[in-house]
Amino acid sequence: MTGSILPVDDDVATRSAGRPLLEVRDLRTYFHVMDGVVRAVDGISFSIMAGETLGIVGESGCGKSVTSLSIMRLLDMPPAEIPSGEILFEGRDLLTMPDEEMRKVRGNDIAMIFQEPMTSLNPVFTVGDQIAEAVILHQGLSKKAAWDKAIESLKAVGINNPERRVKQYPHELSGGMRQRVMIAMALSCDPKLLIADEPTTALDVTIQAQILELIRTVQDRTGAALMLITHDLGVVAETVKDVVVMYAGRIVEEGSVEEVLLAPKHPYTEGLLGSIPSRGKRGERLNVIRGTVPNPFNMPPGCNFAPRCPYAFEPCTQADPRIGDANPPDVACWLYTATATSPTPPRVRPRLDLVEALG
């Protein structure tokens, strides 16, 4: 991976000094379906500074992908609806932006890498066509120049013999190769924010590490901010600086990777960490979070996690804790409020194997 074609951004420090690149405020995304309304994202707020990295973690169905699709405005409305919230990108609200302007943001300012490299590329066009298409559109390059740019970006994501690959169709490439193409495509217009939605989930373990390494390298080199969505705490530990933990459409905990992984506050985060199988404990039962994610049509009263929480006590079933209610305000849990009467704050073993990964 030599000969970077992606411009190194010297401006990161100055940009990050100001307001955040992306600021999501009280975002709610609901789906109107036959059986009622699913509150897939239910009032979440977070922000990313230019050039910074943020991980969004949670189980399947917690609303993390819907969050990213809401930011890109790629949801079909209806059935989806965004009844409230703001998504400020460089100070402009993406949610109220006219379609035509939003289209210019997509792919150009904010680019996205999807989970399924096998199906995310159009089978009837060559790889080069698909990369060049966005470059021609956003940067107004000629067909020839865009094609050269496609070759360069393939080279930048570590694809050997890019002159040959660029003419190939997706079915001629392996899964890892296709994900590299997706990354090349996402980076081809030098976006300011890269959203990676489970970029390694569909790949072999050996390829996963390579792709993560690649994402980290290109993020570093281009100075783009990175929003990484994953269910895998190991991936988070290796890739990002800050992390947000989501459960049933809400943010339950946020902080730096060190804080969250080494000293989790929310019982759910504790459960997630505890359920990672660790080395040297062969033959023991795996830890799981008991119970299942609540039925979206029948959310429990009070805290969404209360029915599964080993520490649940009286206030949990009565009122809904939100980020900011607690002290410090980085966890949505009654255990951390001033009025809490619980004598048992959660205590978790630090995950030393994850600590190593952080090193």
**Shorter beta-carbon distance to other proteins: residue 182 or 306:** 182
**Shorter beta-carbon distance to other proteins: residue 88 or 137:** 137
Kindly state the DSSP code that residue 91 receives in the 8-state scheme. Answer: T
Q: How far is the CB of 120 from other proteins (least distance, A)?
A: 5
For strand 92-93 and strand 80-89, is the pairing parallel, antiparallel, or unpaired?
antiparallel
Q: How far is the CB of 103 from other proteins (least distance, A)?
A: 5
**Shorter beta-carbon distance to other proteins: residue 171 or 281:** 171
**Shorter beta-carbon distance to other proteins: residue 120 or 342:** 120
**Shorter beta-carbon distance to other proteins: residue 114 or 334:** 114
Four-residue CA torsion sign, 312, 315, 318, 321: negative
d(Cα 242, Cα 248) in Å, to the nearest integer? 20
Q: How far is the CB of 185 from other proteins (least distance, A)?
A: 7
User: Could you please report the per-residue DSSP string of 12-69?
Assistant: HHHHHHSS-SEEEEEEEEEEEETTEEEEEEEEEEEEE-TT-EEEEE--TTSSHHHHHH
- The binding site for other proteins (CB under 8 A) comprises 72, 74, 103-108, 111-112, 114, 116, 119-126, 133-134, 137-138, 169, 171, 182, 185
**Shorter beta-carbon distance to other proteins: residue 142 or 327:** 142
Q: How far is the CB of 219 from other proteins (least distance, A)?
A: 18
**Residues in CB range of 196: below 8 A, 6 or more apart:** 112, 113, 215, 226, 227, 228, 229
Q: How far is the CB of 356 from other proteins (least distance, A)?
A: 35
**Shorter beta-carbon distance to other proteins: residue 120 or 317:** 120
Q: How far is the CB of 172 from other proteins (least distance, A)?
A: 9
For residue 315, give the 3-state DSSP assignment: helix
Q: How far is the CB of 201 from other proteins (least distance, A)?
A: 13
Q: List the Cα angle 41/61/191 in 5-degree steps.
A: 65
**Residues in CB range of 89: below 8 A, 6 or more apart:** 21, 22, 105, 109, 110, 193
**Residues in CB range of 134: below 8 A, 6 or more apart:** 107, 108, 185, 188, 189
d(Cα 42, Cα 45) in Å, to the nearest integer? 10
- For the chain, how big is the Rg over CA atoms in Å? 21
- Residues linked to residue 25 through DSSP beta bridges, in sequence order: 86
Q: How far is the CB of 40 from other proteins (least distance, A)?
A: 16
Under 8 Å between Cβ of 260 and 354 = no
**Shorter beta-carbon distance to other proteins: residue 103 or 231:** 103
**Residues in CB range of 301: below 8 A, 6 or more apart:** 317, 318
**Shorter beta-carbon distance to other proteins: residue 187 or 257:** 187
Q: How far is the CB of 239 from other proteins (least distance, A)?
A: 21
Q: List the Cα angle 210/215/221 in 5-degree steps.
A: 120
